[in-house]
Chain A
C-alpha cells in the first residue's frame, strides 16, 4: 500500500497570508490527524477528522482549521500567518480512530517570513 502523502513538501509564505496543506491517507484509512512540530514546542496535536467531521481538537487558535473530504483526503488551512507558525506539519492516518497506530506522512515544512 502506498503510504501517507503530503503536498506540498516545502512552502514559503509571508506574514498575513494564508496557506492550505494537503494530506492523502493510506487507502482504506478514514481517520486523519494533524500535528505541528517545532524545535521549541515539539510535536503538538492540532486536530483529527473522521468521516468528514472534526472529532478532536488540540489547543490551537481558530486560525488553524481543517476539513476532510468524502475520499478521506484532508486539508489544513492556516489563515493570517504569523512568524511562529513556521514549522513542520505532519499528517497521520489510521483505520478508524486516532487511538490506533497512526501512520505518518513526510510532512510539509512551512516557513513564514
Chain B
C-alpha cells in the first residue's frame, strides 16, 4: 500500500538556523514528489516540485530513491516560514503525509 511518513509532528527552530523536514514514502511505482505548505489562514499551496525544481521561499529537497526519502531543507529559517508542511507524492492523485508544523522563533 502507498504510504507517506513525516515523522516530526512539530518542529521548532530559531530564526537563522537551518531547518530540515523529513519525508519517507513507500510506493510501488515512481511518483512525482511535491511539498505543499499552508500558512496561517491561507490556502494550501505548492512549495516545491521535484521534477521541475520549482520552489518558493528558498527551500530545496533531496530525493533519495534508494531510501525513498524526500527531505525538505532551508539553510536559514525565517519567521515567515512558520507554517504547516506536507510531503505529497503524486501518482495521478496526491497522497499527503500527516504534516509537520514548523515554528520559527525570533
Binding site for B on A (CB under 8 A): 3, 33, 35, 42-45, 48, 55-56, 58, 90, 92, 97-99, 101-107
Contact = CB atoms under 8 A, between A and B. Distances in A.
Contact of A48 (B92, B97, B99): B92
Contacts of B92: 48, 55-56, 97-99
B93 interface: yes
Given A98-B90, A99-B32, A99-B90, A104 B96 contact: no
B56 to A, nearest CB: 11
A35 B98 CA distance: 14
User: Per DSSP, are chain A's interface residues mostly helix, strand or loop, or mixed?
Assistant: strand
Nearest to A55: B92
Contacts of B95: 45
B46 interface: yes
A98 B93 contact: yes
Question: By CB atoms of chain A within 10 A, which of B94, B95, B97 has the most?
Answer: B94
B interface, size bucket: 10 to 19
Interface of B: 32, 34, 43-46, 49, 54, 86, 90-99
B60 to A, nearest CB: 17
Contacts of A90: 44
A35 B94 contact: yes
B44 A104 contact: yes
A43 B93 contact: no
A91 to B, nearest CB: 10
Given A3-B43, A35-B96, 12 more contacts: A33-B94, A43-B96, A45-B93, A45-B95, A92-B94, A99-B32, A101-B46, A101-B49, A101-B54, A102-B46, A104-B43, A104-B44
B93 A58 contact: yes
A33 B96 CA distance: 14
Nearest to B95: A45
